[in-house]
Chains A and B, each alone.
Chain A
Amino acid sequence: MPERYMSRKIIFTALFLPLFIFSGLSFYRSRHLKEPVVAGPGVLEVRKLSHYFPGIKGSINDASVYLLGNGGAGQGSVLILGGSHPEEPAGRLAAWIIVENAVVNAGRVFVILTANPSASTSTRPGGAYPPDYAIKTPWGERKFRQGDRWSNPLDQWPDPEVYIHYPSRQQLAYMDIRNQNRTWPGRAKGTMTERTCHAMTRMIIEENIDLVIDLHEAELQYPVISTIVAHQKGEDIAALASMMISAEEGFQIGVEYSPVALRGLSHREIGDHTQAIPLLLETPEPFLDATRGKTDRELLLSGKDEFVMKAGKHGLLFEKIDENGWPIDVRVGRHLSSIIQILRVWTELHPEKPIVMTGVPRYTEVIEKGTGFYLKNPSEAPANRVFYE
């Protein structure tokens, strides 16, 4: 090898070595960031998803399942999913607040804070996401992983050149084989993401869960936004809940019906393959918009963006946006009030299988006091009540 090539290689290696080291440290830290969860008064048990399907045991996606209840039998049950797409933080934070605050007076409430833990450990190449974000609380800050839409390639790789959904055989974009909201109902011998969905499907069937609420956020350019997406089995609940929310909670939410031709989504497959009624909630997250400006923590939490506003002025958005943006408190509050109203409607329609949950703040309360107000201080909680995501 010519000497000049060798010296050039040495110089470039020396120049780029610090970049490798410091970026590597950043990636390592965010992948291993421990997020504390203080089990609230309603939490009876914390178990792993592998309890329902051993095929997921030992993988990063052996998620924690928080079981809230009061020990009563013969009542209704709901599964609340946060973090199917961890890049949509309002879903995870709303689920967090439920686990740390809810008291269940009737029925059973299963909560998974991070339905795709692997996706919470990476950020999107080309997306310039921050590695994490912090929520201010009265006692300090809580730090959360930012995450991505897709499972981390470190955990599931390579992708096929086209993803063929099981069991419909519908062809989808290749990377969606790592998208947990395209891999329902899952597959026992499938990829890690498919096995995670399979484990949750098994759980829904074994626990005879009645309702599944999947918490999401959407870019404002996406037509399915500020809405409840319902499987046909849940049309009445969604419509009634939407009316109640609009009348009582201080914000409007629409209803959309799950398209039969769009496969792999929770609101379609859970309804088709289990006894449960799936509902998917969407709040607006300008951080996800393709026209967004600076991509940083501020945008993630405030939802304020000049470029997205400009797109809105040209009629390109499916949700309004102004100088106030879409702050995280508004988005978390919308999810929480929607859940409260959905459970209320469920209980009214099925008095023989009630699900009654108290202690969860509503939309106006979260806006008034902030999301952080409802996050507990792990250092003040008994050690056996603190878990980590």
Chain B
Amino acid sequence: MSATSSALLILFAMIAVYVAAKLLRVSTELSLFFAAAGGALAGGYGIPVRHLAEGAITYLDICLIFLTATLFMNIIKEAGGVSFAVRTILKNFHGRRGLLFLLLAALLLIPGALTGAGSVTVLITGSLVAIVLKYMGLNEVRVAAIIFIIAGLSAAAPPVSLWAMLTAAGINMPYVGFFLPLLIPCLIGALLTIFILGRKAQPVNLEKALGELPIPPERMNWWRLGLPFLVFLALLLAGRIFPFHFPILGLPLIFALGAATATLCSPVKINLWKTSLETVEQLLPLMGTLTCVGILVQIMTLTGVRGLIAVSVVTLPAAAVIASLFLTLPLSEAVLMWGAAPVLGVPLVLLFNTRGLDPVIVLAGMSLIWPLGDALPPTAIIGRLTMTTVGVRERYSRFLKMCLVPAIIIAIIGTLMVIFSKKLSFLTVF
């Protein structure tokens, strides 16, 4: 049997097992696991325990970031910091919608741009922004869509864009010249998103909002609220400014130290054990999905299914590849997350490079489209995280539908950057 037939059969077996598991109402996480196990069995590998275990730790670091960042924000909430901040923002900006939108877009863009992770944006500033937007009369689904799309753009924004960095590393290209090609479309995309999806926003009824919002503890003030964020930012920047003198802490520990500061600054006593347990409970489905996606990717790689998908995409005619970027990039992100950059990004940028396109602009354009896939199954990690953070109780498909217009605009911007990369190469100045 040829490699293609074999990989196709295994792929069908995986899909069949996944669908069967879902029909039997098995959770998404376990369905992914069973699909992986089914693929391994169909490929004649039995139960490859080493690969299952190794795949399970693929996204361990991301799980730790999720856990510690959520704990950080949950402690801030428990301390009354979120209600304090929202009340203050509403009091000062309730009458100036445009200014408020600009402020909120900036709040959403910064954490992801600094860390390269949209999840950090969702967890750190997402919940805060969500409450403000809800008081502007936007429904939860719309709010979640705004936060998700801008969080994705924040991850693509400079200085840290993991898709661009991973792909550049894969083709021996310095991560230089990306600042403007990433910054400008991310800013445009973020502003378009918040103004388009937020067009129905109403002036805030301040009296009603302040009456409904929980009243923060009396001793809560900007210092108590700001200090944990300052500690977080200081530790993050210290690693950047003094990289050769400051120890590498890693994002999970930085968030944990921020959480410890938030506990110490809280005007009310925080039950750390209880909050930690609730945080784990809250994130268990997400971490389970990440773990099982890692296993699935490992088995797809082992059996050749990943190779089949990759080679099928990159061997399409160049025009078809460009025309289908809006599909292939998000779909690869949905399955592989950042792993999509080395698997698909490397051959695609090399393909475009051989066709005379500017690789920096091409990669920047692609980096803009990739994060859209974070809302798509089977992982849908950031999409689901946003739903949880905003507290959306409606169907996931409604959220996806709401994301559609800004997603199309962003995909068009990214695709146009690829097509006109040569003309845009003046942007690659630093």
Residues of A in contact with B (beta carbons under 8 Å apart) = 18-20, 22-24, 26-27, 123, 125-128, 131, 157-162, 164, 166-167, 169-174, 176-177, 187, 189-191, 221-224, 259, 261-263, 290-296, 305-308, 310-311, 314-316
Contacts and interface: CB of A to CB of B under 8 A. Distances in A.
A173 B47 CA distance: 34
A158 B255 CA distance: 13
B13 to A, nearest CB: 15
Contacts of B311: 291, 307-308, 310-311
Interface residues of B, number: 69
A23 B303 CA distance: 19
Interface in B273-332: 294, 297-299, 301-304, 307-308, 310-311, 314-315
A311 B49 contact: no
Given A27-B50, A161-B160, A310 B315 contact: yes
B172 A262 contact: yes
B116 A162 contact: yes
21 contacts: A19-B53, A126-B54, A126-B294, A126-B336, A127-B301, A158-B252, A160-B248, A171-B160, A171-B165, A173-B175, A191-B248, A222-B172, A223-B171, A223-B172, A261-B176, A291-B311, A292-B307, A293-B307, A307-B4, A314-B315, A316-B315
Contacts, number: 183
A167 B244 CA distance: 9
Interface stretch (B221-229, B341-349, B416-424): B341-349
B252 A164 contact: no
Contacts of B249: 158
A105 B234 CA distance: 58
A166 B55 contact: no
Given A173-B162, A221-B350, A307-B307, A161 B116 contact: yes
B15 interface: no
A296 B44 CA distance: 13
B419 to A, nearest CB: 20
Residue from A174, A187, A292, A308 having most chain B Cβ neighbours under 10 A: A174
Interface stretch (B79-87, B211-219, B235-243): B235-243
A327 to B, nearest CB: 18
A307 B176 CA distance: 32
Interface string B166-200: 10111110111000000000000000000000000
B354 interface: yes
Of all A-B residue pairs in the complex, the 9 with the closest CB atoms, nearest first, are: A158-B250, A23-B53, A293-B304, A128-B302, A306-B3, A164-B243, A128-B301, A173-B165, A125-B58
B51 interface: yes
A316 B314 contact: yes
A263 B6 CA distance: 42
B7 interface: yes
A125 B49 contact: no
Contacts of A164: 240, 243-244
A273 to B, nearest CB: 15
A19 B49 contact: yes
A172 B175 contact: yes
A174 B6 CA distance: 36
A23 B52 contact: yes
B137 interface: no
A166 to B, nearest CB: 6
